[in-house]
């Protein structure tokens, strides 16, 4: 018999703690390896933590509703097997992952930290303010005295982001009331205002859910952090469409799943990033971090209308078949809320497909802390001028528009243009063995 401490695992980049939402087991429950034992919530995603080994849960250390840091024990498992030599290696590997996550936080959270570096972690009265709260306070000009006046609704009275949003809403309403008092309204305008207030009762007020609020915060932070520039190029993907049509039935029979264009776009982007590694970067203060791995995120729409970005790790090392398997698997589990935290973290570049809804193009927002994002538009049949030895001719071709948004602090137009042109070349002459 041996006892194993079940630690809160690394939950992805920028995540140092999680809230214990709900235990799925009780003390005395017998579990298998990889059985889900607890639901946890982070700022990025809600997920389940699996059991690291088979055995019996003998103690639940972390109570529901408590906040636990990555690497801290949450439960104790009694294993029927003896503590083998492999077990210390596994634990050491997990500890290494935790350390790597913590180190990555220091690099990847600079954009947020720079906004709040002048603020202390506690108010004059001693209230703790997290980096996220300090970031919002710095953005909105909220003073220490205002923070001190807030009654925190978080654990142990901690001030949460929702507490700040409520404060900002109150301040906004106060400002609007002051303006109304300063600007006397005529009887007619008052009647219009009153009518507007009455009619507003017919509108449906929908509060953002937690995921949508996180997306909103992330998008606003990205626009504040990076000066966005978007470049466009069109690509004649007729050969690509013909290639896919010639292999899709074979792929379906062999793999039991469809071959869409998304894996091809990921493959093309991975090849181009390999050729232009200075697109595969992030910014850390005044330093440029050139990423060793090419990990491509794919923006995926969820049934509830929200968005999540699962990541294809080391995409440049995978075949088109391997990428297609990963794309289909991650997309399916994303829609069923079955993704693990590691599967939505670590991205170095992102692709978003506007063509899914027959849109021609778009200007995507960079997924921080990355430095660029590729948008793919709809593939359409269009008349195009083709150069031949006998002269120019007009033919029906499959054309699509590619858009690249990039951080102009570190990526100039020339480099972005070369990268986008390389993606175009790969797609226009695409061919791969399945």
Q: Residue 44 maps to which CATH number?
A: 2.40.50.100
Residue 112 pLDDT more than 70? Answer: no
Residues 100, 132 within the same domain:
no
User: Under a CB-based contact definition with an 8 Å cutoff, are residues 133 and 119 in contact?
Assistant: no
- The residue annotated as part of the active site, out of 275, 304, 332, 412, is 412
**Enclosing domain of residue 141:** 114-205
218 among known catalytic residues: no
Q: What global pTM score does this model have?
A: 0.62
User: Under a CB-based contact definition with an 8 Å cutoff, are residues 402 and 237 in contact?
Assistant: no
Residues 83, 154 within the same domain:
no
- The residue annotated as part of the active site, out of 398, 408, 429, 433, is 408
Domain boundary among 108, 133, 163: 108
Is 217 a member of any domain? no
Residues 388, 366 within the same domain:
yes
* Mean pLDDT to the nearest integer, 13-23: 80
Residues 289, 363 within the same domain:
yes
Domain boundary among 52, 87, 108: 108
Residues 120, 102 within the same domain:
no
Is 211 a member of any domain? no
Is 351 a member of any domain? yes
Q: How many whole angstroms separate alpha carbon 72 and alpha carbon 355?
A: 44
Residues 177, 296 within the same domain:
no
- Phi, psi (deg, nearest 5) at residue 131: -55, -40
Is 89 a member of any domain? yes
Domain boundary among 53, 88, 108: 108
User: Under a CB-based contact definition with an 8 Å cutoff, are residues 236 and 429 in contact?
Assistant: no
* Mean pLDDT to the nearest integer, 55-59: 92
> Tokens 């829609």 correspond to what residue?
335
* Mean pLDDT to the nearest integer, 254-259: 92
Among residues 162, 157, 166, 99, the alpha carbon closest in space to that of 128 is found at 157
Q: What is the pLDDT of residue 192?
A: 41
Q: What is the pLDDT of residue 6?
A: 92
Is 433 a member of any domain? no
Is 69 a member of any domain? yes
User: pLDDT-derived band of residue 200, with 50, 70 and 90 as boundaries?
Assistant: low
Residues 94, 126 within the same domain:
no
Q: Residue 240 maps to which CATH number?
A: 3.30.559.10
- How many distinct structural domains can be found in the chain? 3
Residue 422 pLDDT more than 90? Answer: yes
Instruction: Tell me which of 93 and 402 has the higher pLDDT.
Output: 402
Is 20 a member of any domain? yes
Give whichever of 36-45, 83-92, 146-155, 422-431 has the largest mean pLDDT.
Answer: 422-431
Residues 293, 342 within the same domain:
yes
pLDDT in tens, 296-333: 999 998 887 888 899 999 999 999 999 999 999 999 98
209 among known catalytic residues: no
Look at the chain and count its residues: 434
Residues 37, 103 within the same domain:
yes
- Judged by average pLDDT, the poorest of 301-305, 347-351, 413-417 is 301-305
pLDDT in tens, 5-17: 999 987 766 677 8
Q: What is the pLDDT of residue 141?
A: 77
Is 212 a member of any domain? no
Please state whether beta strands 349-353 and 372-376 pair in parallel, antiparallel, or not at all (unpaired).
Answer: parallel
Helical axes 262-275 vs 320-335, angle rounded to 10°: 120
User: pLDDT-derived band of residue 416, with 50, 70 and 90 as boundaries?
Assistant: very high
Among residues 5, 6, 10, 8, the alpha carbon closest in space to that of 100 is found at 10
Residues 133, 156 within the same domain:
yes
Residues 140, 46 within the same domain:
no
Secondary structure (H, E, C), the chain? CEEEEEECCCCCCCCCEEEEEEECCCCCCEECCCCEEEEEECCCCEEEEECCCCEEEEEECCCCCCEEECCCEEEEEEECCCCCCHHHHHHHHHHHHHHHHHHHHHHHCHHHHHHHCCCCCECCCCCECCHHHHHHHHHHCCCHHHHHHCCCCCHHHCCCHHHHHHHHHHHHHHHHHHHHHHCCCCHHHHHHHHHHHHHHCCCCCCCCCHHHHHHHHHHHHHHHHCCEEEEEEEEECHHHHHHHHHHHHHHHHHHCCCCCCHHHHHHHHHHHHHHCHHHCEEEECCEEEECCCCCEEECEECCCCCEECCEECCHHHCCHHHHHHHHHHHHHHHHCCCCCHHHHCCCCEEEEEHHHHCCCCCCCCCCCCECEEEEECCCEEEEEEEEECCEEEEEEEEEEEEEEEEECCCCCHHHHHHHHHHHHHHHHCCCCCC
Residues 421, 278 within the same domain:
yes
Among residues 335, 383, 222, the alpha carbon closest in space to that of 327 is found at 335
């Amino acid at each position: 018999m041996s006892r194993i401490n079940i630690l809160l695992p690394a939950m992805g980049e920028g995540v140092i703690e999680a809230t214990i939402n709900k235990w799925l087991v009780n003390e005395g429950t017998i579990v298998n390896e990889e059985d889900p034992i607890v639901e946890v919530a982070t700022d990025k995603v809600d997920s389940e933590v699996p059991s690291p080994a088979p055995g019996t849960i003998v103690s639940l250390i972390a109570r529901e509703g408590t906040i636990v840091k990555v690497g801290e024990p949450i439960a104790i498992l009694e294993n029927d097997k003896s503590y083998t030599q492999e077990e210390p290696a596994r634990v050491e590997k997990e500890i290494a992952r935790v350390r790597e996550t913590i180190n990555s936080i220091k690099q990847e959270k600079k954009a947020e930290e720079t906004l709040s570096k002048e603020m202390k972690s506690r108010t004059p009265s001693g209230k703790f303010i997290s980096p996220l709260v300090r970031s919002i306070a710095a953005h909105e000009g909220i003073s220490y005295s205002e923070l001190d006046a807030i009654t925190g609704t978080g654990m142990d009275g901690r001030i949460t982001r929702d507490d700040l949003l409520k404060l900002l809403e109150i301040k906004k309403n106060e400002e609007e009331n002051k303006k109304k008092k300063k600007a006397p309204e005529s009887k007619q305008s008052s009647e219009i205002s009153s009518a507007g207030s009455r009619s507003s009762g017919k509108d449906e007020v929908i509060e953002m859910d937690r995921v949508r609020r996180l997306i909103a915060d992330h998008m606003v932070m990205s626009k504040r952090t990076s000066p966005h520039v978007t470049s466009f190029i069109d690509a004649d993907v007729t050969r690509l469409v013909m290639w896919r049509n010639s292999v899709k039935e074979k792929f379906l029979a062999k793999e039991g799943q469809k071959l869409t264009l998304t894996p091809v776009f990921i493959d093309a982007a991975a090849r181009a990033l390999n050729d232009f590694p200075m697109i595969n970067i992030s910014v850390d203060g005044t330093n440029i971090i050139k990423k060793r791995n090419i990990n491509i995120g794919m923006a995926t729409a969820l049934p509830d209308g929200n968005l999540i970005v699962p990541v294809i790790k080391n995409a440049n090392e995978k075949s088109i078949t391997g990428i297609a398997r990963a794309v289909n698997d991650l997309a399916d589990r994303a829609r069923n809320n079955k993704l693990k935290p590691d599967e939505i973290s670590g991205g170095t570049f992102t692709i978003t497909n506007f063509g899914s809804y027959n849109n021609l193009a778009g200007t995507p927002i960079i997924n921080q802390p990355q430095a660029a994002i590729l948008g793919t538009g709809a593939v359409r049949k269009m008349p195009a001028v083709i150069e031949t030895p006998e002269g120019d001719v007009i033919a029906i071709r499959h054309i699509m528009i590619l858009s690249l948004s990039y951080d102009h602090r570190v990526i100039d137009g020339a480099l972005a243009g070369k990268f986008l042109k390389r993606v175009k070349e790969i797609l226009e002459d695409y061919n791969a063995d399945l």
